[in-house]
């Protein structure tokens, strides 16, 4: 289904009207979703609900705040407003109202089935490559155009960040989209990500240690007096100050110990990420050699168990060894498909 979008800059003679209403979804591409509604209303034109979820499109055509969820625009002057809530700076109200709200300013977009100003979707929307999860740790580039191996493309995350990536192999084609295995052009991968996490934890640990030392020094601020063990003189003018010294020393020492424990925890997690910095998985081209080596080792161990070269620690040792061989065989074949020379 295609809904044609008409863009007009001046609709003074055809004021838009906004109404809150439920709607159903017409499935288009992921970057361009239109919700459409056709209900019988006492005016000459049919109504189509429009919800465009692309900020770049709104900025490009000056669509400031008039396209909102659960709002539809119609082309009619014969309406009876029931809700006169102000729309502010051309913004649609966040209303549950069932009446109509007349807009005070010009409407920049008009959509319905009878009035058509056909503008090609390819002209309105910037073609965008997105990520598609294919396997654990493996994300493909979902593209609407064909690319050659070694070509550099921009892939956009779900948060709108664009990463420059290098195309490897075409994995499959579906619904007019091409799915390619890719790596980051800047060399960022799971190992670099783990290194960043480890460095961040080391920084947090250093900061916690520094703060812990500061609180320790504060706790010893009045140690020359408190170390004497002088009792609190109840009723004396020094009682309040004496109690405050003790409380401050106790609280500061408690914070010092707490931050020291936090620093130790950060160091523990940092060591974990340092170990993960050597990880090789299917998201990396190096996985071909890695899984080939692991598969050879698993096969050799499996054959050794069958021949008696290696002892069986329990009755399922051989079964588990065969299972490991099968899993590594699948990973090796997938690594070849993702990163190998496939023709």
List pLDDT tens digits, range 238-251: 888 888 888 999 99
* pTM of the complete model beyond 0.85: no
Residues 276-325: pLDDT tens digits?
A: 998 999 999 999 999 999 999 999 999 999 999 999 999 999 999 999 99
Two tokens, residue 149: 């191996």
Residues 15-32: pLDDT tens digits?
A: 443 333 333 333 333 333
Mean pLDDT of 338-342: 84
Two tokens, residue 222: 């009045």
Indicate the helix (H) or strand (E) that contains 201: helix 190-219
Two tokens, residue 167: 């195309």
Query: What is the per-residue burial (b if ≥16 Cβ within 10 Å, else e) of 52-72?
Result: bebeebbeebebeebbbebbb
Confidence of residue 114 (pLDDT cuts 50, 70, 90): very low
Two tokens, residue 51: 């919800």
Q: What is the pLDDT of residue 223?
A: 81
- Distance, in Å, from the CA atom of 54 to the CA atom of 33, rounded to the nearest integer, reads 9
For residues 8 and 215, which has the higher predicted lDDT (pLDDT)?
Answer: 215
Nearest alpha-carbon partner for 48 in 81, 101, 5: 5
DSSP 8-state secondary structure symbol assigned to residue 232: P
- Distance, in Å, from the CA atom of 172 to the CA atom of 180, rounded to the nearest integer, reads 8
Kindly report the average pLDDT of the chain as a whole number: 71
Query: Are the C-beta atoms of residues 36 and 24 closer than 8 Å to each other?
Result: yes
Two tokens, residue 288: 């071909």
Q: Is 153 helix (H, G, I), strand (E, B) or coil?
A: strand
- Distance, in Å, from the CA atom of 90 to the CA atom of 135, rounded to the nearest integer, reads 45
Residue 147 has pLDDT above 50, yes or no: yes
Q: What is the pLDDT of residue 71?
A: 35
Confidence of residue 342 (pLDDT cuts 50, 70, 90): low
Question: Where along the chain do its domains lie?
Answer: 1-126, 127-184, 190-276, 287-339
For residues 129 and 46, which has the higher predicted lDDT (pLDDT)?
Answer: 129
């Amino acid at each position: 289904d295609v809904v044609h979008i008409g863009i007009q800059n001046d609709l003074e003679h055809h004021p838009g009207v906004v109404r809150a209403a439920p709607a159903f979804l017409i499935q288009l591409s992921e970057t361009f979703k239109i919700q459409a509604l056709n209900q019988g209303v006492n005016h000459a034109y049919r109504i189509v609900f429009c919800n465009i979820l692309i900020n770049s499109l709104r900025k490009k055509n000056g669509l400031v705040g008039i396209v909102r969820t659960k709002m539809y625009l119609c082309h009619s002057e014969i309406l009876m407003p029931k809700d006169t809530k102000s729309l502010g700076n051309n913004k649609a109200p966040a209303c549950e109202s069932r009446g109509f709200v007349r807009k005070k300013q010009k409407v920049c977009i008009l959509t319905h089935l009878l009035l058509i100003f056909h503008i090609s979707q390819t002209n309105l929307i910037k073609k965008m490559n997105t990520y598609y999860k294919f396997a654990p740790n493996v994300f493909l580039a979902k593209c609407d155009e064909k690319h050659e191996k070694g070509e550099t493309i921009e892939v956009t995350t779900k948060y709108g960040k664009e990463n420059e990536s290098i195309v490897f192999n075409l994995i499959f084609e579906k619904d007019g989209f091409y799915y390619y295995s890719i790596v980051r052009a800047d060399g960022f991968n799971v190992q670099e990500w783990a290194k960043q996490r480890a460095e961040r934890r080391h920084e947090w640990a250093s900061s916690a240690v520094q703060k812990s030392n500061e609180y320790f020094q504060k706790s010893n601020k009045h140690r020359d007096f408190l170390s004497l063990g002088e009792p609190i003189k109840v009723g004396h003018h020094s009682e309040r100050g004496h109690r405050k010294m003790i409380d401050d020393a106790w609280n500061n020492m408690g914070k010092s110990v707490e931050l020291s424990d936090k620093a130790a925890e950060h160091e523990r997690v940092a060591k974990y990420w340092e170990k993960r910095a050597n990880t090789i998985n299917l998201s990396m081209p190096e996985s071909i050699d890695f899984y080939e080596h692991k598969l050879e080792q698993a096969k050799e161990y499996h054959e050794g168990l069958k021949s008696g070269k290696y002892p069986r620690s329990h009755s399922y040792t051989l079964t588990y060894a065969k299972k490991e061989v099968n899993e590594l065989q699948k990973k090796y074949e997938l690594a070849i498909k993702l990163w190998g020379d496939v023709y």
